[in-house]
Structure 1
Amino acid sequence: MDNKAVLAAAAAEAERNLRQSFTNLQFEDFEPSPVRGPIYQMSAGGRIIYYAPDSEHLLFASIFDKNGVNLTALAQEVGAAKRLKAVDTALAFTVGPENAPTVIEFTDPDCPYCRALDRYWAAKAAEGKPVRRLIFFVSGIHPEAAAKAEHILCSTDKAVAFKTIYTGAAPAMLRTCTEGRAKVEAHARIVGSAGITGTPTLIAGGKLISGFQQAEIETFLSSAKSAHAPR
């Protein structure tokens, strides 16, 4: 049997196995993938990535077993649990009512997606669905992020200063103070220990959400609302 016949036989067997294991899956084409050799799993910034060294491919994907279990999501939850251990929430800057569903939020004052997320939270609060945000400032991405975070933490009315900065406005002179600078530095250490590399990053309901993923946030809010509903 020549090489083409061997490959064709292997592909036919793989397709039979696929149809037997995933009986509800409908597909039109079935052919060899460009990925070769073993595939390894790694975590980067809270996201699970797969690497195939033989063909030098990175795979940004979700892996499901034959029972429909999302193994990638489970791995991300394990990673989120590890990150939670590195986060001292007592050091967070807090926004929102105490009795609301709580999220841990890693944010950057100059990140456009972080500002979009802040507008989203404001819209949810206006709908009567507020959250309590335990905020940690990420200051290593944009050059003025640390100074703006310090300004917020040094302001008399921190909530107003936060809102002003996150609209994209900034005073001509940013406030500075020893306490605020120390807190920004403490946040930087927590961000490093938690392995956070992008903003916004949320830990919500024990799950890590990388970026402004509105569908995932809506799922959290729905489940949080159910958990708080009277029984």
Structure 2
Amino acid sequence: MVTNNCFCRHIIQRALAILFASVSLLAHAGVQEDIATIQSTLESRTPPVKARSVKPSPIAGLYEVFVQGNLIYTDKNFSYVIVNGAMMDTTSKKNLTEESLKQLTTIKFSELPLQNAIEIKKGSGAYKFAVFSDPDCPYCKSLESGLAKAGISNYTAYIFLLPLKTLHPDAATKSESIWCAKDKAEAWTNFMVKGTAPEKANCDNPLSANEKLAVEIGVSGTPSIYLKNGHQTQNPQELVAAIKAHQ
């Protein structure tokens, strides 16, 4: 009788395991369908939008979507969205949105196409960083002058020209002129720090490639700074601290 009871329990346990596995597979299939629906909805818009990442959030029925450098939350039908909202873990007190954004916007610095950037070397050039910058962006100009004011002198900056045409209609022409100047670094510094406009010039340039790259890696605005470790920030003080830490 004991043997029969053990045998029955074994059968029940196996049945429950199969049942739970089936439920898990069905739930996973449902999640994948939801993700496909969200991606399809975005891509069917005009113009089409491609999400770099879509995954379930810790809240049931709510999905985390990383698109155009921003993290948003939506239902499976993309009927409602939460934009510029932070999801907090009330137990750990962690900002889950901030943590996800940090992970999603971190890149391998060594894989950046530096041939498409203006190289500016100061001092030993020891600390390397990259900036996606618009010549007509006031915050970009503040960054350029701010480094000198902070006494930062040993770095190599790679400037990826990214004119925000909607906000600054003349930025593309200025960017091309700076890129096509005989001395790109000098033309960039003269305009951003001294306010000296570059002579108008045309040539093959990486502006379109930079725009495509910005979308791929999640640049949402200028200046977008990539530190040597690949982390993205829009806070100049983080850059200053990182450079000073390596001096």
* TM-score, scaled to structure 2: 0.59
Matched, 1:116 2:139: no
> Corresponding residue for 2:130?
104
> Corresponding residue for 2:238?
219
> Corresponding residue for 1:60?
85
Residue identity matched to 1:132: T
Residue identity matched to 1:151: S
In 2, the alpha carbon distance for the partners of 1:192 and 1:145 equals: 18
Moved more, 98-107 or 57-66: 57-66
> Corresponding residue for 1:49?
72
State the shift of 1:221 in Å.
3.4
Q: Say whether the 8 Å CA contact 1:107–1:200 is kept in structure 2.
A: yes
Residue identity matched to 2:237: E
Residue identity matched to 2:129: V
Unaligned runs of 5+ in 1: 1-35
**Partner SS for 1:119:** helix
In 2, the alpha carbon distance for the partners of 1:131 and 1:139 equals: 24
State the shift of 1:132 in Å.
2.2
In 2, the alpha carbon distance for the partners of 1:44 and 1:161 equals: 34
Matched, 1:208 2:232: yes
For each residue in 1:81-137, what CA deviation from the matched residue of structure 2 results, as whole angstroms up to 9, or x when unmatched? 35868732232211133533222211111111211221212323xx14543221111
Correspondences of 1:5-154 after superposition (within 5 Å): 38-51=61-74, 57-61=82-86, 63-64=88-89, 66-81=91-106, 87-97=112-122, 99-124=125-150, 127-141=151-165, 142-154=168-180
**Partner SS for 2:72:** strand
In 2, the alpha carbon distance for the partners of 1:75 and 1:47 equals: 11
Equivalences, count:
182
Residue identity matched to 1:109: P
> Corresponding residue for 1:166?
192
For each residue in 1:159-214, what CA deviation from the matched residue of structure 2 results, as whole angstroms up to 9, or x when unmatched? 2211222244425x4122x3xx333333233223334342111122322224xx3x
Greater Rg by CA: 2
In 2, the alpha carbon distance for the partners of 1:64 and 1:132 equals: 39
Question: Using a 3 Å threshold, how does the CA distance of structure 1 residues 60 and 100 change in structure 2: closer, same or farther?
Answer: farther
> Corresponding residue for 1:198?
221
Q: Say whether the 8 Å CA contact 2:127–2:155 is kept in structure 1.
A: yes
In 1, the alpha carbon distance for the partners of 2:135 and 2:180 equals: 15
Question: Using a 3 Å threshold, how does the CA distance of structure 1 residues 66 and 99 change in structure 2: closer, same or farther?
Answer: farther
Question: Using a 3 Å threshold, how does the CA distance of structure 1 residues 224 and 66 change in structure 2: closer, same or farther?
Answer: farther
Q: Say whether the 8 Å CA contact 2:131–2:225 is kept in structure 1.
A: yes
> Corresponding residue for 2:212?
189
* TM-score, scaled to structure 1: 0.63
Unaligned runs of 5+ in 2: 1-58
- The answer to which structure, 1 or 2, has the higher relative contact order (CA under 8 A, 6+ apart) is 1
Residue identity matched to 2:207: V
**Partner SS for 1:188:** helix
In 2, the alpha carbon distance for the partners of 1:45 and 1:85 equals: 22
In 2, the alpha carbon distance for the partners of 1:184 and 1:138 equals: 7
For each residue in 1:8-45, what CA deviation from the matched residue of structure 2 results, as whole angstroms up to 9, or x when unmatched? xxxxxxxxxxxxxxxxxxxxxxxxxxxx9854322244
